[in-house]
Structure 1
Amino acid sequence: MSVETALGVSSQTAHQLQTDRWPDWSRQCTAMAKVGCTDVRGWLRPAAGPNGQRALYELAVLAAADGGDDVDAAKLLCWAMLPAACRVANELSDLDPDIDAFVASQLWIEVRTFNWRASNQVAGTLSASLRRSLLRESGIGAPRQPELDDAPWPVLLERLAREPANEHLDSREVLLRVLDWGVESGTIQPADRALLLDMVDASHADPRRRSPRRVLFGTSSLLGPGLGITARSVRRRGRRALDALAAHASELTEFLDPLAS
């Protein structure tokens, strides 16, 4: 599968949309009328100049659900953004075996929710938002709550991803004690404990292990079928449990310190 296939908008489809809808769009949009019925992807290039950039912005406004709410415009804009989306899919290919479908669905969401009131930089804003949203949905992006930036769980994952430097410190024991504390304190549920343990075990078996957080959440596609839920649900449940533990950062710090001594 490719991002284009997952999106369901081919070059032929895009050309037909442009041909069929151009008279209507050009009546509504001044810049689109000026550039004429041309290759929309050309508007993303610097050579397109101010008119091309303005035409792309007008297309984005038409495509947004709170703008023109035009599904055809959204399809055309998604097609125009495919080269950028494919680059993102290649760079994040280890997030999910179905990364192309993941990217295609998120690209559609980004186009339909583009904040055209706040920005007229369409291509750059959509590309950045697409990458950021994919990482966040996979559980490895920046925390939604800034106050959790210093939460201990990323450090714990780093520790669990390698052999402990201190031979007297067993990382598995640390993990089990933290998770047991989480269940006993009511911070997480027993099912969350089991899921996090499964994710850690699966991530340790992954030969890539370049990034502890990426590999941990990358196990979702392996664990989902066995649990009868989607890979995305695994990621969301895992992230929610880790965030719940992170909210007790000070308590966990006090809890973990004796283990390191």
Structure 2
Amino acid sequence: MSVETALGLSAGMAAQIIDQHWNDWVAGRPGLALADHANLRRWLRAAPTPDANAALLDLAMLAAKDGGDDTDAALLLAFCLLPSACRIANHLADVDPREVDQLVASQLWIEIRTYNWRRCARVTGTICANLRRNVLREWNLDPDRPPRTTVGAGIDVRAQLCDAPMATVLTPRQELMQALDWGVDSGTIEPFDRDLLLELVEISVVDPKHRSPRRPLLGSAILVGPEFGVSPRTVRRRSRHALDALAARASEITQVLDQLAS
């Protein structure tokens, strides 16, 4: 099973939808008119971020129930977001490897059909952030703390992540989560920046190519950018700013962590 299979999608189906509807969709939608519909997903990866966002927003408006209510547009948008959805499924596979693809696929469909296109212009980042949080809620896990741990055989993952009492000494992961959450609560960083930093860390932990101490954390920006609908340059700029802001308040963060561990 894969997310693509669970959705019943394929490249051939996407091409067929484009052949049937693209000319009608493009009329009056300048964002879609910019796109290379013959190689849509490839174009989205290579296009300037504002152009990619504009095209995805037009497609999201068509796909939403309170927009165009077009299920073919929803299928095509799901196809465009599949790489990010599959990454989320892979990140959460340690929780329930048998059901994760179906759950991610069904939640992706819900997020697309209920997308708030009137207020949210960053389609990929918004849908994927909501997708990950809502999948975690289905498992009764903390929606702001996506699991990214290696668990030995026979251990109940949910118990490890949620039900176990906090240890006297915080683990590095707990410290990271608490520091970033404190940064958001205190107004030091924005929730979007916290999500960027978490994703950069998760890629560094999982992907051996990005785990080397010789490679800086922000080297993963090229992978994170498309998932959040921004350019790698924006990922690096915002992440540096967030890290500098947190570093400036390091003494306060240390006090918070010491209180939690006591």
**Shorter-normalised TM-score: what interval?**
0.5 to 0.7
Aligned to 1:116: 117
Question: What secondary structure does 1:86 align onto?
Answer: helix
Q: 1:207 aligns with which of 147, 154, 157?
A: 154
Contact 1:95 1:214 in 2 (8 A): no
Aligned to 2:50: 50
Aligned to 1:11: 11
Contact 2:60 2:112 in 1 (8 A): yes
Contact 1:6 1:104 in 2 (8 A): yes
**TM-score, normalization by structure 2:** 0.54
Amino acid at match of 2:59: L
Question: What secondary structure does 1:28 align onto?
Answer: coil
Matched ranges for 1:157-196 at <5 A: none
Tell me, in whole angstroms, the C-alpha distance in 2 between the residues paired with 1:46 and 1:141. 34
Aligned to 1:33: 33
Contact 2:141 2:162 in 1 (8 A): no
Task: Note the alpha carbon deviations across 1:163-199, whole angstroms, 9 max, x for none.
Answer: xxxxxxxxxxxxxxxxxxxxxxxxxxxxxxxxxxxxx
* 1:49, distance to aligned residue in structure 2 (A): 4.0
Question: Structure 1 25/95 Cα, relative in aligned 2: closer, same or farther at 3 Å?
Answer: same
In terms of mean alpha carbon deviation, does 121-130 or 206-215 score higher? 206-215
Contact 1:19 1:37 in 2 (8 A): no
Contact 2:136 2:142 in 1 (8 A): yes
Amino acid at match of 2:136: L
Question: What secondary structure does 2:48 align onto?
Answer: helix
Matched ranges for 1:21-100 at <5 A: 21-42=21-42, 44-45=44-45, 47-96=47-96, 97-100=98-101
Tell me, in whole angstroms, the C-alpha distance in 1 between the residues paired with 2:162 and 2:155. 8
Aligned to 2:186: none
The alignment covers a number of residue pairs equal to 155
Question: Structure 1 76/142 Cα, relative in aligned 2: closer, same or farther at 3 Å?
Answer: closer
Amino acid at match of 1:17: I
Amino acid at match of 1:208: I
Give me the CA root mean square deviation: 2.3
Tell me, in whole angstroms, the C-alpha distance in 1 between the residues paired with 2:14 and 2:104. 19
* 1:7, distance to aligned residue in structure 2 (A): 0.5
Question: Structure 1 213/136 Cα, relative in aligned 2: closer, same or farther at 3 Å?
Answer: farther
Amino acid at match of 2:92: L
Contact 1:7 1:105 in 2 (8 A): yes
Q: Point out where structure 1 has 5 or more consecutive residues left out of the alignment.
A: 144-204, 217-261
Tell me, in whole angstroms, the C-alpha distance in 1 between the residues paired with 2:43 and 2:119. 20
Contact 2:141 2:158 in 1 (8 A): no
Tell me, in whole angstroms, the C-alpha distance in 2 between the residues paired with 1:53 and 1:135. 26
Contact 1:74 1:112 in 2 (8 A): yes
**TM-score, normalization by structure 1:** 0.54
Of structures 1 and 2, the larger Rg is shown by: 1
Question: Structure 1 46/126 Cα, relative in aligned 2: closer, same or farther at 3 Å?
Answer: farther
Task: Note the alpha carbon deviations across 1:60-86, whole angstroms, 9 max, x for none.
Answer: 111111111110000000011111111
Q: Point out where structure 2 has 5 or more consecutive residues left out of the alignment.
A: 145-151, 164-262
Aligned identity (percent) is 46
Tell me, in whole angstroms, the C-alpha distance in 2 between the residues paired with 1:49 and 1:214. 35
Question: Structure 1 56/31 Cα, relative in aligned 2: closer, same or farther at 3 Å?
Answer: same
Question: Structure 1 126/52 Cα, relative in aligned 2: closer, same or farther at 3 Å?
Answer: same
Aligned to 1:197: none
